[in-house]
Structures are given as structure tokens and as C-alpha cells.
Structure 1
Amino acid sequence: MRLDLNKIVLGVIVITIVYLAILTVLPFFSSLFFAFVTAYALEPVHKKLSKRVGTKNSALFLTLAVIITASVFSMILIYTLTPVVKQAYMYLSDIESWIKGLPIPQGLLEGSVESMITQAIEKGKEYLINLTFSVPRYVLQTIVYLAFVYFFLLKRDAIVDLLTFEDERLMKIIARGNLTLQALIRAWLLLNIAKGVLMTVGFLIFRVSNVPTAILAGLLTILFSFVPLFEGWMIWVVGSFYLLREGHLLLALGLAVYGFTLVSPLPDFTIRPKLVAREANFDETIVLIGMIGGTWGLGLKGLIIGPIVLNVALEMLKEWKKITSSQQS
């Protein structure tokens, strides 16, 4: 009886510790996840660099490179996003005043139409204000992200040992997840470069800027496409707001449609699944379902987690069928 009581107490302690650990990590799960993806992408470079300068120095060097890149991103983001948010807030206020000045019957305006319009505009303003006040939280997430990047690079060998098992079936499942993650990273890189080229062309076609600025917009699109919190759509949004402010409504709408269709986010759910399916020898419909479902349930990180989970789940199902067939025979 005493032994059973000890097991119960030990079980309660383990569950409590696991629960508290989940609560501790949960607010920074996105940072932890994207830090793992970053470290995974840098692993080939880290492996070669470690042979020359050592594991710790290599981890420090690569983390410093990520910090410099993140600092440049932050500066660009501040100078890019601040005027856009301010201009968007002004546009929403102008739209509200313009709608109230329309010759709509007073009874209709005071009814459901006015209520819906007011709610939509207030929601837009609230979103912009929340985006502005979320900057400190993004800074904290970035610090945690960088710390985890360094940790994963430094503990690379220990993590590899932790994920190495004697069971052949389990290793096959892990290898399947590894193959899917490699395919996602390659597709991410190729697609982001294509987005940058298309954005440069779009800025020139819709006369947003001259050639040097258009090239800069393309480079920023590539860089922003690697930032989990934002993505490359920010660049065509800035360009559309600029054209709208200059009075070119049709060009602004054209750039918005062009950017949405060819740059972001539509290609993430059309072209990317094809690239991942080809690289991972995986059905593109399953990849698309994983990306959409993952994004819906987990946010941006679901773009990566969703396909990996479905691919691993299918591999587990295949292994289970093999075990069942062997037992029956």
C-alpha cells in the first residue's frame, strides 16, 4: 500500500512539473519553434564552422549574425511600419467622416448600416492601436528567439543524440519528419527569392518608384518573408498606401491585387505546397491541408508544423499497418 501511495505521489509531482513547464514555455512557444527552425537551417553551416573554430565559437558567431540581421529588420520595420499605421488610421477616420456625409436616409443611417460601418472601422482602428502597443512584446519575443537559437546551435550534438533511437521504425518516422522540414525550408528559400523578384517588377509596372528603389523593395520583400511575425505582404501594402496617398486609386488597387496574388499570401498556399510535395515525395493536397489547417489552428508556425505532423502521421499509419500485417501472418 505504501508503494502504491509513493507511485501516486510521484505521478502527481511529475504531472504538476510538466504542467508548470508547459505554462512556462507556452508564451514563448512561437519563438522557441522558429528558433529551432532557424538553427536547423543553419546546421550545415554550423557543422562546417565548428570544425574550424569550435562548437561554442561557431554558435556565438552565427547567433551574432542573426542578431545583426534582426537589428536591421527591426530598424527597417520601425521606419516602414510607423508611417503606414499612422496613414491607415487617418484613412479610417476619413472614411468614417465620408460615409456619414453620404446622402443616405436618416433612419437607415442610424440603423443597422451605420452600426455595421462604425463597428468595422472601430475594429480596424483597434487593430492598428494594438499593433503599435505590441512592439515591446515583439522585442521580448525576439530576445527569447535569439537565446534559443544560440542554445540549439550549442547543444546540437546533444539534441541529435536525444533524437537517435535503436528502434528502426521510430527512426524511419523521425527521418520522414526531417525530410519534410528540409523540403519546407528549401521551398521557403526559393519562394522568398521569387517573391523579391516579382515585387521589384511590380513596383516598376505600377510606377511606385524608380529602379533602385524597386530593387530595394524586392530585397526587403525577401528579408521580410523570413520574419515570422510579418511576411512580405508588408511591402506591397506600403506601396499601395503610397499610391493611394498620391491619388492613384487604380494603380493602388492593381498593386494590391498583384501583390496578394503573386507575392503574399496566395503563393504560400498554392506554389509552396507543390514545391514541398516534390521535395518530400509527398502528396501536395496533404501539404496544402497541413498548411491551411496548421495556420488556422496554430498561426504562422502552423505553416511548418501542419505538413510535418500530417507527413509523420501517415508514416506512423504505414508502420502500424506493417506491424498488423506481420502479426496476422
Structure 2
Amino acid sequence: MDRRLAVLGGVLVTIAVLAAVILVDVLGTVFFALTVAFLLAPLRRRIRDRGVSRLMTTVIVTATAFVGVVVLIAPVGYLLFARFGDVLAFINALPESIMLEVAGFQYELVVAELIAFAEQRLRGTVTSVAAALPVLVTKFALFVLLVFSLLHNESDIRSSVIAVVPPEYRDIANALHERARNTLYALYVLQAVTALATFLIALPVFYFLGYSSPLVLATVAGVLQFIPVLGPSILIAVLVVGNLLAGDIVGALAIAFLGGGLIAWLPDLTIRPRLAKRTADINGSLYFIGFVGGLLSLGAIGVIVGPLVIDLLAETAGLVADEFEIEPETA
């Protein structure tokens, strides 16, 4: 029986690898759909337990996934298309040179080429996205179809996967399952809620401080919340430097204290602790390594794959330590 399970598991892995090779162009979409369906499976079971039909439950949860993805993508689309001119104006308003003075010596740092490069890349990104729009729509339709199919057959898929895992190793599979679900919750739900809170806080702050495009700046702050560790602090630092170079000391201090406190720190101090109990305890530095490494290696989907793999590696290391009764070093 164990040999038969091992053969079936090997066949499953082999076919999965073959499918990944064949579907390489849509592999990111497939992985994204898998993670979203995996995260929403408990919600589907909860609704199903209330007596709702299988089809209706799947439709409701798939619609939830659809709306969630649209809400996540909408701010980026808003910046790239609806307010593209304002974003370019903000970039072009940056000073072309910065005067540095150290120990009595002055040095002019010319950043005009960097600004021109940023503008060129932004234009190129918008052009590429516009050209690839039909493909993106097709991939989005594939995503919705995959999520619906995975959720509709969630019980059968779960039973099949558990069946090929030998009973003595199912505790390891369950531990990795829980860790993956909590990590995905942190990457999707926690980040999205924190980003929304950042946007809602930033909008009145930027309006009160008199910035010409508070909606654009608030949207940028919300999008930057998805960058671990740094987040909206990047935008606040740019605005502080811009005000200092323009000679507006009061404005620089205002955005440093109000923006830094309310925009960069308040969402993390208020939102994250309330939702963190349902997430995996992701180390900030490891999260950053996974985010950057995944982004550079795999592109956009890497921002999910990287932290997820790093966190599963940490969970596996913990299981190994528990198996061999390795005591953690104490201070």
C-alpha cells in the first residue's frame, strides 16, 4: 500500500512538473489562482456549512476573489492611466540637481538623467501594459475560471492530496498547510487592509498640507504599503527632500512629522496588530529578502512566491529542530 501511494505521489508530481513546463506562459496566473483559492477555501467551507448549495457557494466566493483582485489592481491602473499626467508632472517637478555640502566642500549632484530615466521607464511601462491589455484580460478570465474550478472541486482536491501523503507524514503536511495559509493571509488580506487604511489616512493629510495632487499621493502611499519594511516611508522621504531643496523648511518638517507618524507608522501600529493573530509570524528581514528576491527572479508574481517560500523554509527548519529536539539559543 505504501509503495502504491509512493508511485501515485511520484506520478502526481511528474504530471504537475510537465503541466508547469507546458503552461509556462500562464504559470504566474495559475499560481496566483491556486494561492487565492487556497486562501478562500475556509470561507467556502464556512458558507457551505450554512446550507448553501455547492454551486452558489462557489459563485459567491469566486465573486469575492474577483472583487478583491479588482480592488488590488485598481490603484495601479488609476496611477498608470487615469492620472498618468499628474505622475509625470510630479516626477518632472523634482529638482534636476542637489547641492551637497560636506566639511566646507560643496558638490552638485546632478539627477536630471535619473529623472529622465524614470520618466522613460514609466512611459515604457504604460505603453507595454496598453499593448498587452488583450492578453491581460485573457489571463484575468483564466484566473477567474481557475479559481471557480478549484473552489468547486476543493473537497475532492484536498482529499486526493491528503491520500497520497503517508499517514506518518501527515502532521508535517498539516503544519506546512497551516503555515502557507497564514502566510498568504498576511500577504493578501493584511497587506490590502493596511494599504486601504494608509490611503484613507494619507488623503486628508496631503490635502491639509496643501499638496496639489493629494489623491495621487495618497494612492502612491497605499501602493507602497505592499513594499515590506520601507513602505510609504519612501514617499515621505522624497517629499521631505523636495521641500528642503525648495527651501520650505516648515513644509519639510510638517510632512516629516505628520506624514511619518500618520501615514508611515499609524496603519502599522493600529491595523497590523489586530489582524496579525491570524497570520504567520513572518520575520521582517526574511520577508524583505523574499520580496526582493522573488521580484527580481520571477517578476510580479515573485512578490508572493518569494515570501511564501522563505516562510515555508522557516517552518520546515522549525520542524527539523523539533524532530531532533534542538533547543533555540537564548539570550
Alignment TM class, shorter chain as reference: 0.5 to 0.7
* Structure 1 pair 93–145 and aligned structure 2 pair: CA distance change class (3 A): same
Partner residue in 2 for 1:308: 312
Paired with 1:28 and 1:163, the residues of 2 have a C-alpha distance of 23
Tell me whether 39-48 or 180-189 shows the greater mean CA deviation: 180-189
Paired with 1:95 and 1:205, the residues of 2 have a C-alpha distance of 21
Partner residue in 2 for 1:294: 290
* Structure 1 pair 262–139 and aligned structure 2 pair: CA distance change class (3 A): farther
Counterpart of 1:175, as a letter, is: N
SS of corresponding position for 2:118 = helix
Larger Rg: 1
Output one character per residue of 1:34-93: Cα deviation in whole Å (capped at 9) or x when no partner.
322322232223123335343333222322343345446555554444354323323444
* Structure 1 pair 23–89 and aligned structure 2 pair: CA distance change class (3 A): farther
Partner residue in 2 for 1:152: 150
1:45 lines up with 2:39 in the alignment: no
Paired with 1:313 and 1:162, the residues of 2 have a C-alpha distance of 26
Unaligned runs of 5+ in 1: 1-13, 103-111, 323-329
Paired with 2:225 and 2:198, the residues of 1 have a C-alpha distance of 16
Q: Offset of 1:164 from its aligned partner?
A: 0.9
1:23 lines up with 2:21 in the alignment: yes
Alpha carbons 1:92, 1:121 under 8 Å: kept: yes
Tell me whether 298-307 or 192-201 shows the greater mean CA deviation: 192-201
Q: Aligned-pair RMSD on alpha carbons?
A: 5.0
Q: Offset of 1:128 from its aligned partner?
A: 0.8
Question: In the TM superposition, what are the counterparts of 1:143-222 in structure 2 within 5 Å?
Answer: 143-165=141-163, 167-187=166-186, 189-190=189-190, 192-194=192-194, 196-197=196-197, 199-208=199-208
Partner residue in 2 for 1:55: 54
SS of corresponding position for 2:162 = coil
Alpha carbons 1:202, 1:258 under 8 Å: kept: no
* Structure 1 pair 194–65 and aligned structure 2 pair: CA distance change class (3 A): closer
- Paired residue for 2:116, among 118, 122, 127? 122
Paired with 1:209 and 1:141, the residues of 2 have a C-alpha distance of 41
Q: Percent of aligned pairs with the same residue? A: 13
Paired with 2:168 and 2:313, the residues of 1 have a C-alpha distance of 17
Output one character per residue of 1:193-241: Cα deviation in whole Å (capped at 9) or x when no partner.
455445534444454499xxx99x999988x79999xxx859x78xx7x
Paired with 1:143 and 1:263, the residues of 2 have a C-alpha distance of 37
SS of corresponding position for 1:304 = helix
Judging by fraction of residues, say which structure has more helix. 1
Unaligned runs of 5+ in 2: 1-12, 100-107, 296-302, 326-331
Question: In the TM superposition, what are the counterparts of 1:94-113 in structure 2 within 5 Å?
Answer: 95=94, 98-99=96-97
Alpha carbons 2:39, 2:185 under 8 Å: kept: no
Alpha carbons 1:60, 1:150 under 8 Å: kept: yes
Alpha carbons 1:92, 1:125 under 8 Å: kept: yes
Paired with 2:225 and 2:25, the residues of 1 have a C-alpha distance of 21
Alpha carbons 1:36, 1:152 under 8 Å: kept: yes
Paired with 1:34 and 1:18, the residues of 2 have a C-alpha distance of 16
Alpha carbons 1:173, 1:316 under 8 Å: kept: no
Partner residue in 2 for 1:131: 125
* Structure 1 pair 146–253 and aligned structure 2 pair: CA distance change class (3 A): farther
Paired with 2:25 and 2:261, the residues of 1 have a C-alpha distance of 36
TM-score by length of 1: 0.60
Q: Offset of 1:159 from its aligned partner?
A: 1.9
Counterpart of 1:303, as a letter, is: P
* Structure 1 pair 139–22 and aligned structure 2 pair: CA distance change class (3 A): same
SS of corresponding position for 1:64 = helix
Aligned residues: 273
Q: Offset of 1:20 from its aligned partner?
A: 5.5
Counterpart of 2:29, as a letter, is: S
Paired with 2:119 and 2:219, the residues of 1 have a C-alpha distance of 30
Paired with 1:178 and 1:19, the residues of 2 have a C-alpha distance of 20
